[in-house]
């Protein structure tokens, strides 16, 4: 059996790394890796950490590229590889433009698609944008759906996906975290004053550009103004993020702005945080595994399990709401403890084994 794993961004690479590692253990599987390099530098960091050398690198990243640009280049460059390699399966992960384009190319070439992290939904096509539509379409193009939770499975069933094609595996990011936390960080981590609690920030979503992001930055400034916490914010290189972030927070004495961190260092920093403010999807899964409460600066989430389990809370992009909820967790130790000790709903760290086991079933063929 020939399996081609395809990914293009850092989050995809983190979540596919355990699957690639598991595929390597099976002598009856010829496993190859194709990266699109939709995000070049941040992707390469993860490849190094997990010792993955791609067999194919489409190298599509360009400055100021749009989702249309990425999709067009992936479709064009992956075609000859599919023709020459003729894999039995393509594995994709998540909801990026790489996922959609690779799934569509596989469908056109009659190659079966396995979608890792299938079934996540907000039911709002513009939030997150373009990820919600990417994953809906990828699921329609896929032959096997590896749903991280029962909620995701139910979403797929409601869309008419046959039950026998859906397998609940847990989320592979928990597998990745198990590997990461067992290793020392590369070099020194960012420092902050002793005696102050760390509030870790990530914020970069396209749908938050403009006024919503300005509101989020204003909230961060007010939280930093408390003086009893220190904010560390690895800033995404997108000019719509970097410019406003440095303008608002660049000179604040209780804020450290950094370039994007490698995943190993960032995971260790997450473990040191008292609280995380984010508009990311993946951190809603990762932080609970480290016992860190998450406030999600979005109005909807494709990971309702985190909200229901109490490991995360939606706070939107309103300045006052973000400050109020952050202050509650900083001032009320019982409220913080309740979120920190809530049970992570995203699996047991053996998702990759389950995925490869399903791929190896005779009934799949």
- What is the C-alpha to C-alpha distance for residues 268 and 118, in angstroms, rounded to an integer? 27
Q: Is 24 an annotated catalytic residue?
A: no
Q: Is 206 an annotated catalytic residue?
A: yes
The verdict on 134 and 219 lying in the same domain is no
Q: What is the 3-state secondary structure (H, E, C) of the chain?
A: CEEEEEECCHHHHHHHHHHHHHHHCCCCCEEEEEECCCCHHHHHHHHHHCCCCCCEECCCCCCCCCHHHHHHHHHHHHHHHHHHHCCCEEEEECCCHHHHHHHHHHHHCCCEEEEECCCCCCCCCCCCCCHHHHHHHHHHHCCEEEECCHHHHHHHHHCCCCHHHEEECCCHHHHHHHHHCCCCCCCCCCCCCCCCEEEEEECCCHHHCCHHHHHHHHHHHHHHCCCCEEEEEECCCCHHHHHHHHHHHCCCCCEEEECCCCHHHHHHHHHHCCEEEECCCCHHHHHHHCCCCEEECCCCCCCHHHHHHCCEEECCCCHHHHHHHHHHHHHCHHHHHHHHCCCCCCCCCCHHHHHHHHHCCHHHC
Q: Facing residues of 5 across strands?
A: 33, 91
Candidates 112, 236, 254, 298; catalytic one? 236
The verdict on 228 and 163 lying in the same domain is no
Candidates 10, 135, 204, 298; catalytic one? 204
Answer yes or no: is 99 within a domain.
yes
The string of pLDDT tens digits covering residues 2-41 is 999 999 999 999 999 999 999 999 999 999 999 999 888 8
Which whole-number Å values give the CA distances from 67 to 73, 82, 217, in the listed order? 10, 22, 26
Q: Facing residues of 277 across strands?
A: 201, 295
Q: Is 236 an annotated catalytic residue?
A: yes
Q: Which residue, among 41, 108, 52, has the nearest Cα to 259 in the 3D structure?
A: 41
The verdict on 47 and 130 lying in the same domain is yes
The verdict on 273 and 137 lying in the same domain is no
pTM, to two decimals: 0.91
Q: What is the pLDDT of residue 271?
A: 95
- 318: how many CB neighbours lie within 10 A of its CB? 16
Mean pLDDT of 47-56: 96
Q: Is 167 an annotated catalytic residue?
A: no
The verdict on 233 and 117 lying in the same domain is no
Candidates 12, 117, 139, 262; catalytic one? 117
Sign of the four-CA dihedral 147, 149, 150, 154: negative
The verdict on 81 and 53 lying in the same domain is yes
For tokens 């709401």, what's the residue?
Answer: 321
Answer yes or no: is 186 within a domain.
no
Residue 299 in contact with residue 316, Cβ under 8 Å?
yes
Is cis: bond before 150, omega within 30 of 0?
no
Mean pLDDT of 142-166: 98
Answer yes or no: is 178 within a domain.
no
Candidates 26, 197, 206, 242; catalytic one? 206
For tokens 């396995």, what's the residue?
Answer: 114
Answer yes or no: is 191 within a domain.
no
The verdict on 157 and 206 lying in the same domain is no
The string of pLDDT tens digits covering residues 221-239 is 999 999 999 999 999 989 9
Q: Is 325 an annotated catalytic residue?
A: no
- 137: how many CB neighbours lie within 10 A of its CB? 16
The verdict on 22 and 117 lying in the same domain is yes
Beta carbons within 8 Å of 237's beta carbon, 6+ residues apart:
259, 260
Rg, Å, the chain Cα set: 20
Query: What is the domain range of residue 259?
Result: 197-340
> Does pLDDT of 364 surpass 80?
no
The verdict on 231 and 148 lying in the same domain is no
Mean pLDDT of 230-259: 97
Candidates 95, 139, 175, 286; catalytic one? 95
Residue 199 in contact with residue 177, Cβ under 8 Å?
no
Candidates 12, 22, 73, 131; catalytic one? 131
- What is the C-alpha to C-alpha distance for residues 359 and 365, in angstroms, rounded to an integer? 9
Answer yes or no: is 182 within a domain.
no
**CATH (domain of 61):** 3.40.50.2000
Answer yes or no: is 184 within a domain.
no
> Does pLDDT of 69 surpass 90?
yes
Q: What is the pLDDT of residue 365?
A: 58
The verdict on 352 and 336 lying in the same domain is no
Domain count for the chain = 2
The string of pLDDT tens digits covering residues 109-153 is 999 999 999 999 999 999 999 999 999 999 999 999 999 999 999
Answer yes or no: is 82 within a domain.
yes
The string of pLDDT tens digits covering residues 313-339 is 999 999 999 999 999 999 999 999 999
- 147: how many CB neighbours lie within 10 A of its CB? 26
Answer yes or no: is 180 within a domain.
no
Q: Is 274 an annotated catalytic residue?
A: no
Residue 292 in contact with residue 273, Cβ under 8 Å?
yes
The verdict on 14 and 159 lying in the same domain is yes
Average pLDDT, the chain: 96
The verdict on 20 and 164 lying in the same domain is yes
């Amino acid at each position: 059996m020939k399996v081609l794993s395809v990914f293009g961004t850092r989050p995809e690479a983190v979540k596919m790394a355990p699957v690639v590692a598991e595929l390597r253990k099976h002598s009856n599987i010829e496993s190859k890796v194709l990266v699109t390099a939709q995000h070049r530098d941040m992707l390469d960091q993860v490849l190094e950490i997990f010792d993955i050398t791609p067999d194919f690198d489409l190298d599509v990243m360009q400055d100021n590229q749009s989702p249309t640009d990425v999709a067009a280049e992936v479709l064009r460059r992956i075609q000859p590889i599919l023709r020459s390699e003729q894999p039995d399966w393509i594995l994709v992960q998540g909801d990026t433009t790489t996922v959609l384009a690779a799934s569509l190319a596989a469908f056109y070439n009659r190659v079966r698609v396995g979608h890792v992290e299938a079934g996540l939904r907000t039911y709002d096509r513009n939030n997150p944008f373009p990820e919600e539509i990417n994953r809906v379409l990828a699921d329609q193009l896929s032959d096997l759906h590896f749903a991280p939770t029962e909620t995701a499975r139910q979403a797929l069933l409601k869309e008419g996906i046959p039950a026998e094609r859906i397998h609940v595996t847990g989320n592979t990011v928990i597998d990745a975290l198990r590997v990461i936390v067992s290793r020392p960080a590369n070099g020194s981590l960012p420092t902050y004053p002793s005696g102050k609690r760390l509030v870790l920030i990530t914020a970069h979503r396209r749908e938050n550009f403009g006024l919503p992001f300005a509101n989020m930055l204003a909230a961060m400034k007010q939280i930093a103004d408390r003086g009893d916490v220190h904010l560390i914010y690895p800033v995404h290189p997108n000019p719509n993020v970097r410019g406003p972030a440095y303008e608002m927070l660049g000179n604040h004495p209780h804020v450290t702005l950094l370039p994007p961190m490698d995943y190993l260092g960032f995971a260790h920093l997450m473990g040191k945080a008292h609280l995380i403010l984010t508009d990311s999807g993946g951190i809603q899964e990762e932080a609970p595994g480290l016992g860190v409460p998450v406030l999600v600066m979005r109005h909807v989430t494709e990971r309702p399990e985190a909200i229901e389990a109490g490991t995360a809370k939606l706070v939107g992009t309103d300045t006052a709401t973000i400050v109020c909820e952050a202050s509650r967790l900083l001032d009320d130790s019982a409220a913080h403890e309740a979120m920190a000790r809530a049970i992570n709903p995203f699996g047991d760290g053996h998702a990759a084994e389950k995925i490869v086991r399903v791929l190896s079933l005779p009934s799949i063929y």
